[in-house]
Chain A
Amino acid sequence: SQQGEEDPQALSIQEGENATMNCSYKTSINNLQWYRQNSGRGLVHLILIRSNEREKHSGRLRVTLDTSKKSSSLLITASRAADTASYFCATDASGAGSYQLTFGKGTKLSVIP
Chain B
Amino acid sequence: EAGVTQFPSHSVIEKGQTVTLRCDPISGHDNLYWYRRVMGKEIKFLLHFVKESKQDESGMPNNRFLAERTGGTYSTLKVQPAELEDSGVYFCASSPHRPTRGEQYFGPGTRLTVT
Contacts and interface: CB of A to CB of B under 8 A. Distances in A.
B51 interface: no
The 5 closest A-B pairs by CB, nearest first: A98-B56, A43-B106, A103-B43, A100-B45, A42-B108
B31 A2 contact: no
Interface of A: 2, 4, 30-31, 33, 35, 40-45, 48, 88, 90, 92, 94, 97-106
The listed residue with most B CB atoms (<10 A of its CB), out of A92, A98, A103, is A98
Range of interface residues on chain B?
20 to 34
B102 A101 contact: no
B91 A100 contact: no
Given A98-B56, A99-B95, A42 B101 contact: no
A2 to B, nearest CB: 6
Nearest to A40: B108
A106 B40 CA distance: 10
Interface of B: 3-4, 31, 33, 35, 41-45, 48, 55-56, 58-59, 91, 93, 95, 99, 101-109
A88 B99 CA distance: 20
Contacts of B43: 43, 88, 90, 103
Contacts of A105: 41-42
A18 B91 CA distance: 30
In terms of DSSP, what is the predominant structure of the interface of chain A? loop
A100 B33 contact: yes
A99 B59 contact: no
B41 to A, nearest CB: 7
Contact of A2 (B42, B58, B93): B42
Nearest to B103: A45
